[in-house]
Structure 1
Amino acid sequence: MFWWLYRSPYRVENPSKPWPVILWLQGGPGASGVGIGNFEEVGPLDTNLNPRNSTWLKKADLLFVDNPVGTGFSFVENTSLFVKTDDEAATDLTTLLIVLFNKNEELQKSPLYVVAESYGGKFAVTLGLSAVKAIESGKLKLKLGGVALGDSWISPEDFVFSWGPLLKDVSRLDNNGVKESESISEKIKQQLEDGKYVEATSTWSELESAISISSNSVDFYNFLLDAGMDPVSIATSEISYGISLSKYSKYLKKYSRYLSSLRSSPGGNGGDIDSLMNGPIKKKLKIIPSNISWGGQSDYVFSNLAGDFMKPRIDEVDELLAKGVNVTIYNGQLDVICATRGTEAWVEKLKWEGLQNFQSKARTPLYCGGDKVTKGFIKSYQNLHFYWILGAGHFVPVDQPCVALNMVGGMTQSPAADAL
């Protein structure tokens, strides 16, 4: 497993508020945190290796991990070793944390916050529980500060049912498109009830294709755009990595476009991340085997997790809340794939005893940069916090860097002063 730890140059020593560490988990499954989260979203440098003013290093140290194995620069030499479940991925991540933290007393002083995007949210909640158990048993020496779920694929069923109504409300689907969307969503619901998870993953792809046709290619990461316009998810029409996985071809074709869009995107900075990672970065690192290319095994990561892809992780969120772990949920207003209305739907299914009090709370508006333009809202009760981020799609730190940075500062209680 490949990991990359940045020690922040903005570090503030404050005994009453220890400097935090953020572990960033990318989505996919199969998208690289070391590449995308680091150079496209929150790391110190962009894809042109120019400084990023909104880097999250202003609030915390940053740990990027290419997770699960087969993602980014992480690799397997035996294909039987790809993970098949979110729990297996959590076990690998917990092992990595044990190696990193147990012998480093300086790291142990810093609370660890797991921040996830997209499918990374499922890894985050399974890791959170795995880490808590390892801490309780004395196997892992760290303090878990909390888990943050950014536009996270926690309940696939709730998300697929959100797509039709959302896109109808914003004029990207008409009644015919909504009717078709709801029909395919019902098929997915039945497959999930029958335990046919691989089939549900295939039908998920069928639904995305139907919506793309009916909406004239709406961007699933920002409904204001057409596919191919988003600076972080520029899609290419047909991508193949030259491997044959016919069993999964229906959704792999769609998913390959997602991975490739991230890997070849400029991230708003004009750089090519695939060339960057397999060129200067690989050369500089000096530890990547010559036969390993960044992202070369990504398709296999996804296909091996096809049986877990559509499984919900609401129960795991409930367990974290019950154990007193701080859980932060944040969602971009313009996201489709993990739409806010889908996130709100699965939050309402929580069995957590504080849910009713949380729902009754009023939201507080968020501002940024000294002006009084509403950038979002926050609602908190006990250890559950929900951020609604206005004007952002799936990639919140890219679309709203100022409010995202302030959110991270509040979530981690970073001793750093406001950076923007």
Structure 2
Amino acid sequence: MFRSLNLLSVIVLLLFYLSICVGAFNLLRRQLVSIPRAPPPLDDNPGESLFLTSYLEIGQIDLARNLSQVHLQPAYSYPSYSVYLTVNKTCGPDASSLFGLFSEHGPIRVDKDEQLYSSNITWNSKYHLLFIDQPVDTGFSFTADDRCYVHTEDEVARDLYVMLIQFFQIYYEYAMCDFYATGESYGGEYVPAIVYKIHRENPQAKLKINLKGMAIGDGLVDPYNQGDYGPAMYQMGLIDQRQLEYINLLTSLAREAIWEGQYRQAYSIFGDLFDNIYSNMTGMIDAENYLRTDFPEELFYYIPWVMASEHRRQIHVGNMTYNDGEKVQIALQDDAMQSIASKVALIANSNYKVLIYSGLLDVIIFSSVTMNWVDKLEWNYANQLRAAERVIWKVKEDDQEVAGYLKRANSFFLAWIRNAGHSIPCDQPRAVFDLIDRFISAS
């Protein structure tokens, strides 16, 4: 199924996971509220925030590169940079993502004593990684003007594209690398949006991005067709027949609201389903993985670390506030419940590689509801994908454990990962790295 090619690739991780995700957003935000995110005290010295766009505009690219270097030796030995790039001069700049860097794919972790240590498994061991906080007001990114919050995936893609062009102008050695966009959860909406934007801009662009494909893990792509939660919850034993009837009523109301264009109403219903109803019915707070009752605290060890003035200086964010994305959530409510499946179909039909993968323990985006929209996707090889054989997948042939299952038609790949919930790289880092490597290396 996968024939290897030697590729040098840039994987862009559009991790909107901490910015907004129906159901997951408020659950995760609860884990953050106890951690101070205000600017450091005045008697601390967090350094200055580093904005590179002005250097680019006056041609001081080498100076910009030197200023943006991050030195976290010895734990972080990879060449790395951390900067703000302005995506709207009347609004505010963008920054780099941290959840994926510290808790999922990156080369470093933070322990409970706020000490850095090397990750045993990182995508950075083979690929260049670009982590982005987007939309603005997510993480360390910000805007000084409320009018500048984005409200649609097209606006997000617009800002991301501006940022990427600046990135490749400053760090020009990466401009010819193969480019893949990946994301999870609500990134299921924004990854296709930025890939589609690049696809449309490339023909006339002075600086062309070497776009090759995209990967989406447990993604929200088509809320209407992904909204039928009741049967999956019932089949897993999470609810009984009476509760199933209630969940079916709620999801029917939400899907009807989507059909009628009442997107905020649908968003509210689905949000309440995971913020309150799921916890009340199951006694579990963590809907990311139905084997867990609560979130693993180690996922959030990095937050106090990035709050410290010493580390703020190192990553060039200065005294900027670390945002939980609540305002972003509000601004995007209308957009959240709208499907982007048509752009996925266009991307697939344009012969870009597409990977859709699911964690089999996820409740927020069940693998079955992902297949609901994938099976309905109208694209050139849809029938071949439905008829394709699903094969057993192991990371190594002599492994006893089955990592999951794979399926492919043309350049469209499907994967199911065992023993993984919503944040698949957190639960099964070895399997996901192998999956991404197979996907990128496939002919």
**TM-score, reference length from structure 1:** 0.81
**1:353 counterpart letter in structure 2:** N
Q: CA deviation at 1:30?
A: 1.1
Say which of 418, 428, 433 aligns to 1:390.
Answer: 418
Say which of 177, 183, 205 aligns to 2:271.
Answer: 205
Question: CA contact under 8 A between 1:20 and 1:60: conserved in structure 2?
Answer: yes
Question: CA contact under 8 A between 1:181 and 1:211: conserved in structure 2?
Answer: no
Residues 167-225 of structure 1 deviation map (CA, whole Å, 9 limit, x = unaligned) = 21121100011100000111111111111111111111232222322222363101122
Mapped partners of 1:55, 1:116: distance in 2: 16
Q: CA deviation at 1:34?
A: 1.8
Mapped partners of 1:357, 1:406: distance in 2: 25
Q: Does 1:282 align with 2:349?
A: no
Question: CA contact under 8 A between 1:131 and 1:140: conserved in structure 2?
Answer: no
**Equivalent position of 2:298 in the other structure:** 266
**Equivalent position of 2:108 in the other structure:** 45
Say which SS state the counterpart of residue 348 (structure 1) adopts. helix
Question: CA contact under 8 A between 2:157 and 2:194: conserved in structure 1?
Answer: yes
Return closer, same or farther for 1:42/1:60 CA change in 2, 3 Å cut-off.
Answer: same
Say which of 187, 190, 215 aligns to 2:256.
Answer: 190
**2:298 counterpart letter in structure 1:** P
Mapped partners of 2:360, 2:285: distance in 1: 15
**Equivalent position of 1:106 in the other structure:** 173
Question: CA contact under 8 A between 2:227 and 2:255: conserved in structure 1?
Answer: no
Say which of 404, 408, 420 aligns to 2:432.
Answer: 404
Q: Does 1:304 align with 2:328?
A: no
Residues 147-186 of structure 1 deviation map (CA, whole Å, 9 limit, x = unaligned) = 001110112223331x211121121100011100000111
Mapped partners of 1:341, 1:218: distance in 2: 22
**2:240 counterpart letter in structure 1:** D
Q: CA deviation at 1:79?
A: 1.2
**1:119 counterpart letter in structure 2:** Y
**Equivalent position of 1:346 in the other structure:** 373
Q: Does 1:375 align with 2:403?
A: yes
Question: CA contact under 8 A between 2:231 and 2:244: conserved in structure 1?
Answer: yes
Residues 264-320 of structure 1 deviation map (CA, whole Å, 9 limit, x = unaligned) = x412xxx622211221431322x3242x21225x11111100111111111111111
Say which SS state the counterpart of residue 385 (structure 1) adopts. strand
Mapped partners of 2:248, 2:110: distance in 1: 39
Greater shift after overlay, 385-394 or 207-216?
A: 207-216
Residues 16-37 of structure 1 deviation map (CA, whole Å, 9 limit, x = unaligned) = 7331111011134616972111
Mapped partners of 2:261, 2:217: distance in 1: 27
Q: CA deviation at 1:115?
A: 0.9
Mapped partners of 1:377, 1:218: distance in 2: 28
RMSD: 1.9
Runs of 4+ in 1 over 6 A off after TM superposition: none
Mapped partners of 1:183, 1:396: distance in 2: 30
Tell which structure's C-alpha radius of gyration is larger: 2
Question: CA contact under 8 A between 2:395 and 2:431: conserved in structure 1?
Answer: yes
Return closer, same or farther for 1:84/1:29 CA change in 2, 3 Å cut-off.
Answer: farther
Question: CA contact under 8 A between 2:278 and 2:287: conserved in structure 1?
Answer: no
Residues 252-271 of structure 1 deviation map (CA, whole Å, 9 limit, x = unaligned) = xxxxxxxxxxxxx412xxx6
Question: CA contact under 8 A between 1:365 and 1:378: conserved in structure 2?
Answer: yes
Mapped partners of 2:191, 2:381: distance in 1: 21
**2:97 counterpart letter in structure 1:** V
Mapped partners of 1:63, 1:79: distance in 2: 27
Residues 98-143 of structure 1 deviation map (CA, whole Å, 9 limit, x = unaligned) = 1112465421221011110100121100000001111122244221
Return closer, same or farther for 1:414/1:320 CA change in 2, 3 Å cut-off.
Answer: closer
Counterpart mapping for 1:86-235 below 5 A: 86-102=153-169, 104-161=171-228, 163-208=229-274, 209-217=276-284, 219-226=286-293, 228=294, 230-231=295-296
**2:403 counterpart letter in structure 1:** K
Mapped partners of 1:53, 1:99: distance in 2: 32
**1:272 counterpart letter in structure 2:** Y
Mapped partners of 1:124, 1:300: distance in 2: 21
Counterpart mapping for 1:231-250 below 5 A: 231=296
Mapped partners of 1:50, 1:119: distance in 2: 29
Mapped partners of 2:420, 2:225: distance in 1: 20
**Equivalent position of 2:16 in the other structure:** 27
Residues 324-373 of structure 1 deviation map (CA, whole Å, 9 limit, x = unaligned) = 11110111000011110010000011110201111111112111254132
Question: CA contact under 8 A between 1:59 and 1:405: conserved in structure 2?
Answer: no
Greater shift after overlay, 303-312 or 137-146?
A: 137-146
Mapped partners of 2:6, 2:290: distance in 1: 39
**1:198 counterpart letter in structure 2:** R
**1:98 counterpart letter in structure 2:** I
**1:306 counterpart letter in structure 2:** Q
Say which SS state the counterpart of residue 50 (structure 1) adopts. strand
Identity %: 27
Mapped partners of 1:309, 1:394: distance in 2: 18
**Equivalent position of 2:89 in the other structure:** none
Mapped partners of 1:304, 1:132: distance in 2: 26
Question: CA contact under 8 A between 2:185 and 2:219: conserved in structure 1?
Answer: yes
Return closer, same or farther for 1:128/1:160 CA change in 2, 3 Å cut-off.
Answer: same
Mapped partners of 2:326, 2:285: distance in 1: 24
**TM-score, reference length from structure 2:** 0.77
Structure 2 residue runs without a partner (length 5+): 21-94
Mapped partners of 2:96, 2:168: distance in 1: 20
Say which of 135, 138, 148 aligns to 1:68.
Answer: 135
Q: CA deviation at 1:414?
A: 8.9
